[in-house]
Amino acid sequence: MSTSPADSVSIDDEKDATGPSFADLGIDDRVLRAIADVGYESPSPIQAATIPPLIAGSDVVGLAQTGTGKTAAFAIPVLMGLEVSGKSPRALVLAPTRELAIQVAEAFERYSTHMPELHVLPIYGGQNYAVQLSGLRRGAQVVVGTPGRVIDHLERGTLDLTQLQYLVLDEADEMLKMGFQDDVERILRDTPDTKQVALFSATMPSAIRKISKQYLKNPVEITVKTKTSTNINITQRYVQVSYQRKLDALTRILEVESFEAIIIFVRTKQATEELAEKLRARGYSAAAINGDIVQAQRERTIGQLKSGALDILVATDVAARGLDVERISHVVNYDIPHDTESYVHRIGRTGRAGRSGEALLFVAPRERRLLDAIERATRQPLTEMQLPSVDDVNAQRVAKFGDNITENLSAANLGLFRKLIEDYEREHNIPLVDIAAALAIGSYDGDKFFMEPDPEPVERPRREKGERGRNTFEGDRPRREGPSTHRATGENMATYRIAVGKRHKVAPGAIVGAIANEGGLRRSDFGHISIRPDHSLVELPADLSSETLDALRRTRISGQLIQLQLDSGPPGMRPMNRGPRRDTRDGKPRYERRQPRA
C-alpha cells in the first residue's frame, strides 16, 4: 500500500453561496430525495470535498470536528456504491462509543429512506446479544459498531466481512485514545484488500498517520478549518431533558418566558403536526409547516405569524427555508440538529434587524456530544437553563391573571358589564367578589388553574442479588451490606476484584468505560478504584443483578478477561484504602469484547 496521499485539500467550514448543490456532486436520485426529506439545502464544505473522491473510489482521510456534517460525507457515497444483494455486510463503520454508533446508524437509515431493500444494524457493548444476532442472521448491508463488539462477533463467527466493500473509521483519534488501536488494526487486516477506506479524525496524531500510511491506498486528505459563528445578538441556552419530558419542559418554558413569536424546530414532518396539535390543546396558537404543506397554505401561515394572529410555528429545516419574520423572538431546537451548520441556520431566524433573540436547545442525555460539537464549532458556550419549577409556573399564572384584569379595566364596554353585575348583585344579594370569582371560573378552569406539584418519586422494591422477578419476603436471604455508601444515590456499595492491573497497563478510564458499557452502569455507580500490580479493586453497587454480574465476568480490558468477583480483602482489614477519589474524567466509555463462545 502507498504511504503518501494522492491529494491534499484544505477548506474553510463556511458555506459558500456559489458552491455546488448535492445534485452537482453526482448523487443517486434515491439518496437525493432522502437528503431533501431531511432538509439539507446544500452540502457543507466537508461534504462537497469528500463525496466526489469517495464516489470515484478513492480512500479518504478527513480531518474535521464533530458537527461539520462528516456523517453524511461518508454515508451518502457508501449508500450509492453498495451492492445490496445477499445478507453479508457490504459496509462497516467503526465508532468509539455506543452513542455515536447509534447516531451514525440512524443517519444511514435517514439517507436510505428510499432504498427499502437496504438494512442497517448497530452493534455495541451493553446491548443484548440476541438482538444483534437476530439482525445479523436477517442480513444487514451496513453494520455500525464499536471495535470491541465487532471483534467479539468476528471471534464468534457471527459477523462475516468477506464481502466488505467499505470500511469507515469515524472519530479515529477517539478510538485510539480509548485503547482500541489493536482492535482497529486487526479489523483492517482481516477485511478484504479490495475494500475502500474512509478515516475521519479531529486531529492527526502519529498513530493515525501510521494507520493511514499502512492501511489506506493513496488517500485524498481533506482538512476542514472551522469558522462557524452565530449572531452576537442571540442569547443561547440549553436544557437537559429526556425525550419523554420534552413536552412538559416546553410547556413550562412557554408559560414563564416572555415572547412575541416562536419557531420550534423538529426533525420530521409528522412531528411538526403532532407537536402543533398538542400545543393547540394547551391553549397556544400554533401551526405546523413542513415539506408536504402546499405553497398557498405556507404563505398564509407565515402571514399569520407576521401579523400576530399566530404565535408559534413548528417546522422542519426544509420548511423554514427562506423564513424571515422580524417578530420571532425565540427559536427552540426541540430536536437537536445533527450538524452545527443546521443549528446556526435555525437560530439565525431570530435576532434579525438588530433585535435581540433567544435560542433554546433541548438536549437528551445521550446527545451531550452534539452540544459539545455546537459549542466548539460556534466558539460560543451555551448557558444551561434550569427548567421553571411548579412554583415559578404558578406565580406566572397569578401574574398573568392580574395583568388580564388590569388590561380589561380600560375596555370600552366596561360600563355595560358593570351595570349587569350590579343588577345581579341587587337581585340575588351575592357579594361582588363571589360574582367576579364565578366569572373567572368561566374563563379559567379553576381545578387546573395551578400546576400540580411533581409527584414524589416512587421507590421501587429492590431485589436480592441474584433474584430474578421475585419479591423479597420476610425470611428470605438478607441483602449483603457493602463496605461503603454510594455518595450519589445512597445505595450500598461493595468492593469487587478484577483480574487486570498495572502490568496490563490499564487506566481508570478504561476500567470505568468497559464496566459501564458492558454492565449498563452509569459513571455515578462507581466509587473508589485502586489499581494494584496484578489486579484492581473497584467499588460498585452491592446489589448488581445476576445478568449484570454474568456480563461483567466475561468482559475484557486490554484483551484480558477481568473475571469480576467480590473481594474479601486481607483478614481484619478493609478491602480498599480510602484515598482521594481517582479522577476518571479522561477515560471515556470503552466497548470491550466478551469471551467468545467455546
Q: Which three cell numbers stand for residue 314?
A: 413548528
Is residue 360 within 8 A of residue 238, CB to CB? The reply is yes
**Residue 488 or 175, more confident:** 175
At 121, the pLDDT band (50, 70, 90 cuts) reads: very high
* Helix residue ranges, H only, 520-566: 546-553
Residue 76 and residue 205 in one domain: yes
- CATH number at 102 reads 3.40.50.300
Beta-bridge partner residues of 499: none
44-65: average pLDDT: 90
Give the Cα separation of 440 and 447 in Å (integer). 12
Distance from first CA to last CA of the chain, Å, rounded?
A: 36
Q: Which of 534, 471, 478 is nearest to 501 (CA)?
A: 534
Is residue 254 within 8 A of residue 314, CB to CB? The reply is no
SS3 426: helix
277-291 confidence digits (pLDDT tens): 999 988 889 999 987
Give the Cα separation of 595 and 555 in Å (integer). 7
Beta-bridge partner residues of 360: 237, 332
Give the Cα separation of 347 and 357 in Å (integer). 9
User: Domain containing 200: what range?
Assistant: 8-224
Is residue 450 included in any domain, yes or no? no
Residue 195 and residue 282 in one domain: no
Is residue 301 included in any domain, yes or no? yes
Is residue 108 included in any domain, yes or no? yes
Q: Which of 355, 363, 402 is nearest to 382 (CA)?
A: 363
> Is the pLDDT score of 49 beyond 50?
yes
**pLDDT reported for residue 221:** 92
Residue 303 and residue 351 in one domain: yes
Residue 197 and residue 243 in one domain: no
Residue 268 and residue 312 in one domain: yes
**pLDDT reported for residue 489:** 36
Is residue 580 included in any domain, yes or no? no
Residue 241 and residue 208 in one domain: no
Percent over 90 (pLDDT), the chain: 27
- CATH number at 561 reads 3.30.70.330
Residues in CB range of 343: below 8 A, 6 or more apart: 67, 333, 336, 337, 361, 374, 378
At 20, the pLDDT band (50, 70, 90 cuts) reads: confident
Residue 507 and residue 436 in one domain: no
At 119, the pLDDT band (50, 70, 90 cuts) reads: very high
Residue 186 and residue 107 in one domain: yes
130-145: average pLDDT: 92
Angle at 19 between CA 374 and CA 76, to 5 degrees: 65
> Is the pLDDT score of 493 beyond 80?
yes
451-461: average pLDDT: 54
At 594, the pLDDT band (50, 70, 90 cuts) reads: very low
Domains identified in the chain, total number: 4
Q: Which of 371-385, 476-490, 506-520, 544-558 has the highest mean pLDDT?
A: 371-385
Is residue 454 included in any domain, yes or no? no
Instruction: State how far the alpha carbon of 10 is from the alpha carbons of 21, 379, 519, in Å.
Output: 19, 20, 42
Select from 189, 224, 259 the last residue of a domain.
224
Residue 182 and residue 286 in one domain: no
Is residue 349 within 8 A of residue 331, CB to CB? The reply is yes
Is residue 575 included in any domain, yes or no? no
Burial 133-170 (b: 16+ CB within 10 A, else e): eebbeeebbbbbbbbbbbbbbbebebbebebbbbbbbb
Place of cell 465476568: 553
Is residue 421 included in any domain, yes or no? yes
Residues in CB range of 237: below 8 A, 6 or more apart: 358, 359, 360, 361, 382, 383, 384, 385
SS3 209: helix
At 445, the pLDDT band (50, 70, 90 cuts) reads: low
DSSP string covering 87-98: SS-SEEEE-SSH
Is residue 212 included in any domain, yes or no? yes
Select from 192, 224, 256 the last residue of a domain.
224
> Is the pLDDT score of 12 beyond 70?
no
Residue 161 and residue 238 in one domain: no
Residue 66 and residue 214 in one domain: yes
Residue 557 and residue 501 in one domain: yes
561-571 confidence digits (pLDDT tens): 888 988 876 54
